Chains A and B, each alone.
Chain A
Amino acid sequence: MSSLLQQPWTTWLSQIAAILRMDLRKSFFARRGALVYLLALAPALLIVLHAMVDHHSGMDPASHVGEDTQIMAVIVQVYYIRFAVFFGCMGIFTWLLRGEIVEKTLHYYLLTPIRREVLAAGKFFSGAIAASAIFGGGIVLSFALMYGHIGAAGRAYVFDGAGLSQLGAYLLATVMACVGYGSVFFALSLVFKNPIVPAALLMGWETISGILPSLLQKLTITYYLKQLTPLDTPSTGLMALFTVVAQPLPKAVAVLGLLLLSAVVVACAGLGMRRMQISYSVD
C-alpha cells in the first residue's frame, strides 16, 4: 500500500491532463468527427418531424405522453445504445491508437517521457469523455424536443413526474455504454491491425446477449446496460422465442460491474501497450 502511495501520482495526473487537452480537441473538432455528431443528433431530426406531424394532426398533446415516453425509451435503447453509441465508440476509440498509427504520429507520444500505461489511461479517458459528451448531448436534445413539443403536459411529466429520473437513467446508461464499449474497442485496437472485424463479431455477441444462458449474459455489456434503463423494450420475432430472462441486478452493482470490467480491459490494454512496437509500413 505504501509503495502505491509513493508513486508519482501528481506527475501522472498532469500527464493525463496534457493528453486529454490534446485528444479532446481532436475528438471534438476534427472534421471526421462529423459522422459521430450526425449519429448523435439524427434522432432529434426525427423528433422534430414527429412534432410537426402531431401538430398538424390536431391531437391533444397530453394524450400521448405515454406513447412518447415509450418511443423515447426505444430510441435510447435500440437506436442509441445498440447502434449509435456502439458505432460511435468504434470510431472514437479505435481511432485513438489506430488513428495515430495510420497518420504516423504515435511515435511523438512514445518519445515523450511518459509511462505507456499513463498514455493508455489518458487516451481512454479522452475517448470516454468525448463519446459521453456527444451522445449524452444528443439524448438530452432528443429528450427536450420530445417533451418540449407536448407543452404543459410534457413539462409537468418532466419536472413533476418521472421524466427527470428517466433522463438521468438514460444518461447513466449512455455513459456506461461509452465506457464499456470504449474499453473493449480500445483494447481491440491495440491487439488487431484492423480491429473492426473483431468489433463486428462483438456486435453479434452483444446482439444475441438476450438468448444466451444467464451466466454468459454476464459477459456481455448489454446485460449491464439493460439493468440501467428505466423502461423495458420487449424483443420481438424469433429473438423473443429464445430470450432467457437473467436475474436482475441492482443498478449500483451493474454500474460497478461494468466499471470493473472496463477497468480490467483498460489495464490489460495498458500492459499490452508496454510491449507495443510501431511499424508504420504495415498499416
Chain B
Amino acid sequence: MAVYKRSYAAYGGGHTPVARRFLVPARFGWSQVFASRVFTASYLVVGVVPLLVGALLIYITDTPAVQALIQARGLLEINRMWFLNWLQVQGWFSLLLAAWVGPTLVSPDLTNGALPLFLSRPLSRTQYVVGKSLVLAGLISLISWVPALVLFGIQASLGPEGWAAANVSLIPAIVASSLLWMAFLCALSLALSAWVRWRVVATGLTFAVFFLPAGFGTAANLVLRTSWGNLLNLWWMMVVVWHHLFGLADRLRNLPAGRSSEPMPLSAAILTLCTATGFCLLLLNKRLRAKEVVRG
C-alpha cells in the first residue's frame, strides 16, 4: 500500500479510568527507579535492616529469658518515645531517599521537552504531580509508617497485656507523622527537580535546604541570644510537630534547642512547614506548564 494512502485512525484500545490516570506516571517512575541495582540494594538495606533491628529489640524487651541471657534486664522500654526515635531514624533515611530519587522525577521531562507530551494526553497537571509524588511517597511509606505499624503489631502481640489498647493512639500518630514528612519531602523534591536542571545540583540542594539554614539558625541563636533561629531548621520543626503528635511535647523542654528553655510553639512549627511546603508548590506550579519557550 502506498504511504499516502495510510491515514491516521483514532486509538482503539482501552482507556485508563480518569480516577486512576495518576498511577501511570507513578508506575513508570517506580520501574525507572528500580532499574538501578545499586538503588534497589540500598533501598532494601534501609527498609529491611531497621525493621529487623526494631523487631529484635522488641523481642528482647518482651522476653525476660533473653534479657537474662544477655544481662540486659530493664535496659530498654518499648513506648511512645521508642517509636518516635525509630521513626526519626527512618525520617533521615527518607531524606536520603528523596535526595536520591527526587531529582530524577520531573527534571528529565522538562529538560527533554517531554512535559507537553505528557500534558497533551488526558492527564491533568495535578494528576501528573500526584503521580510523580506517589513514586517518592510509595518508597518512603515502605520504610516509615508501614514497618512502624508492623513493629506496633509485633509489640502488641509480644508485649504486656493491654499494651495495644493503652497505646492505640500511636497508630494515627505514626501515620500522620510519616504523611506530613512525606508531603513536605515530595513538595521539596519535585520543586527542586523542576527548577534545577542538573541532578547533582538538585541532590545537593535537597540536603543543603535542611542543613545550611539549620547551621545558620544555630549561629543566629548564639549570636543574637535567641532560639527563634530554629525556625530555619526544617527538620527540627518537623520534630516539634512529631513530638506533639506522639503526645511527648513535654520532652521538648529537655532537648537543647537554642538559648531559651521554652520549646518552640507548635503553631510556629506548623506555620514554618506550611510556608515552606506552600513555597515549594508555588515554584512547582510556576514551572510545570504545558508549553515550551525556545529562545535564540
Binding site for B on A (CB under 8 A): 32, 39, 42-43, 46-47, 49-50, 53, 71, 74-75, 78-79, 82-84, 87, 90-91, 94-95, 98, 102, 194-197, 199-201, 203, 236-237, 283
Contact = CB atoms under 8 A, between A and B. Distances in A.
Interface string B238-275: 00000000000000000110000000000000000000
Across chains A and B, which 9 residue pairs bring their CB atoms closest together, nearest first?
A83-B215, A196-B203, A79-B219, A50-B223, A46-B223, A236-B256, A196-B204, A102-B198, A237-B256
Contacts of A98: 200
B223 A84 contact: no
B222 to A, nearest CB: 5
**Majority DSSP secondary structure for residues of A touching B:** helix
Interface of B: 96, 99-100, 198-201, 203-204, 207-208, 211-212, 214-216, 218-220, 222-225, 255-256
Contacts of B219: 42-43, 46, 74-75, 78-79
Given A42-B216, A78-B219, A98-B200, A87 B208 contact: yes
Contacts of A49: 223-224
Contacts of B214: 83
B223 A39 contact: no
Contacts of B255: 237
Contacts of B218: 78-79
A121 B257 CA distance: 43
A79 B215 contact: yes
B212 A194 contact: no
Given A197-B96, A197-B203, A87 B211 contact: yes
Contacts of B96: 197, 200-201
A147 to B, nearest CB: 14
A76 B220 CA distance: 13
6 contacts: A46-B220, A79-B216, A79-B219, A87-B208, A199-B207, A283-B199
B162 to A, nearest CB: 31
A200 B223 contact: no
Contacts of B215: 78-79, 82-84
Contacts of A47: 223
A159 B164 CA distance: 66
Given A84-B215, A236-B256, A194 B203 contact: yes
B212 A83 contact: yes
A196 B223 contact: no
B224 A53 contact: yes
B7 to A, nearest CB: 36
B200 A195 contact: yes
Contacts of B212: 39, 83-84, 87
A116 B218 CA distance: 42
B200 A196 contact: yes
Nearest to A42: B216
Nearest to A53: B224
B204 A91 contact: yes
Nearest to A101: B200
